[in-house]
Amino acid sequence: MTNSRLPSQLLLVAIGAGLACSMAACSNNSKSDGGAAAKSNSKTIAASTKANEHFSNWPAGKSPKEIGNLVARRFVESPHQNFGRPGKPNRITYPEVCAWYGALTFAKETENAALRRQLVDRFEPLFGEEEKYVPQPDHVDHTVFAAVPLELYMQTKDTRYLAMGREMADKQWGAPFGSRATTQAWEWHKRDYTWQTRMWIDDMFMITAAQAQAYRATGDRKYIDRAAREMVLYLDDLQKPNGLFYHAPDVPFFWGRGDGWMAVGMAELLRSLPEDNADRPRIVKGYKLMMESLLKYQDENGMWHQLIDDPKGSWAETSCTGMFAFSFIVGVKNGWLDEKTYGPAARKAWLGLTTYLEPNGDIREVCQGTNKKNDRQYYLDRQRITGDMHGQAPMLWCATALLREPDKGPAPTTKPNAP
């Protein structure tokens, strides 16, 4: 495998840029917690200042703004994807949702009005002739779509987006409906978890993205608090002593992208989760344990591999590397991770990822969509795709995270849960 260099004229295309989704911890409104919130914010600012020593002075053609512009342009040019199959999809797929969301946050962070306009225009047909492509919120992979209209609402203040996204987030915790309203779904609902609970590790990004975005858009604590409670359920049941997660309880392999969803889900949740949330300490503990383990398995080129704990026997995979890099970047910038330890690792991961980019903005060595199978060779033999949005999305997330400074979240509009 050879790594191509990116022509500078392409990298300097001024197409994309965006804001990071407003995912920093919210300060508490109460007077009694004002001092603690101020102290926490000052620590975060100090951590971010130190982190910037690792996240600046990039080699030519490797800066997050240049790379983000390139990858965002590629997204805008791309039609709706269908998991690599020919023809149009039945609905907007979750990898496209992840890339769309990343492009929007990047556009906001870099104040790129032209890119935002293109992303808005891509969505507009979903209110009309392409309405059939809007997923029904009856499964975690479908409900995650809510993250896009909610981000569009926060950027444009068009209430059509808010109505669509909030309805999806509400239905995720409402009564089960449709063909997926199984006995098990009703049992989860009765226990005040989402009826879409599956105990699959990728759920923890899909659920978190929808609920955290609803919180950012509305300020209503119920969304972020219930997402946190759900995260603890998954951590307590699925995290192994080494901090990692099997692809499934009956499949004892630490598959890269599967663990990537957990890593990003925790980082995204913690960025918005208020300090006084009762579940926050448990999530921070799980997050730090996972990051500590991941650090041990990063290879000399900054990459993680298809099977995380077998870097010599499996291939370097870009989508999981992007996800783990994002989780490191967010942790360092917010002061959850030691910047001297994790800052260099995050920088190395970013620079490693850029060597896998094609001149048109496609990233190579992305594992195809993968179901569980209790067979090590099955994971090693998965197709390695170029330009799949499973890999494009984390590049945009990382570009945004590298440019973004931690900020205050939305002011809560409802009473927070008691520690």
Q: Tell me the whole-structure pTM to 2 decimals.
A: 0.87
Q: How far apart are CA 138 and CA 195, in angstroms?
A: 9
Q: How far apart are CA 355 and CA 376, in angstroms?
A: 27
The pLDDT of residue 370: 94
Nearest by Cα to 302 from 276, 322, 327: 322
**DSSP string spanning 191-256?**
TTS-TT----TTHHHHHHHHHHHHHHHH--HHHHHHHHHHHHHHHHHHB-TTS-B-SBTTB---BH
The pLDDT of residue 44: 56
The pLDDT of residue 39: 52
Q: How far apart are CA 131 and CA 125, in angstroms?
A: 7
For the segment 43-69, the average pLDDT, to the nearest whole number, is 83
The string of pLDDT tens digits covering residues 278-289 is 999 999 999 999
The pLDDT of residue 49: 61
Q: What is the SS3 assignment for 381?
A: coil
The string of pLDDT tens digits covering residues 138-174 is 999 999 999 999 999 999 999 999 999 999 999 999 9
* Exposed / middle / buried, residue 295 (Cβ in 10 Å: 0-12, 13-18, 19+): middle
For the segment 298-306, the average pLDDT, to the nearest whole number, is 98
The pLDDT of residue 16: 40
The pLDDT of residue 302: 98
For the segment 44-56, the average pLDDT, to the nearest whole number, is 70
Greater confidence (379 vs 83) lies with 379
For the segment 236-260, the average pLDDT, to the nearest whole number, is 96
Greater confidence (29 vs 217) lies with 217
Confidence check: pLDDT of 251 > 60: yes
Greater confidence (142 vs 48) lies with 142
Greater confidence (408 vs 391) lies with 391
Amino acid identity of residue 148, one-letter, is V
| Backbone dihedral angles phi then psi of residue 328, each to the nearest 5 degrees | -65, -45
Where are the chain's structural domains?
8-403
* Exposed / middle / buried, residue 98 (Cβ in 10 Å: 0-12, 13-18, 19+): buried
Confidence check: pLDDT of 294 > 50: yes
> Percent of the chain scored above 70 by pLDDT?
85
User: pLDDT band at 86, cuts 50/70/90?
Assistant: confident
Q: What mean pLDDT, rounded, does the chain reach?
A: 89
Fold of 8-403: Glycosyltransferase (1.50.10)
Q: Which helix (H) or strand (E) is 108 found in, with range?
A: helix 94-109
The string of pLDDT tens digits covering residues 191-239 is 999 999 999 999 999 999 999 999 999 999 999 999 999 999 999 999 9
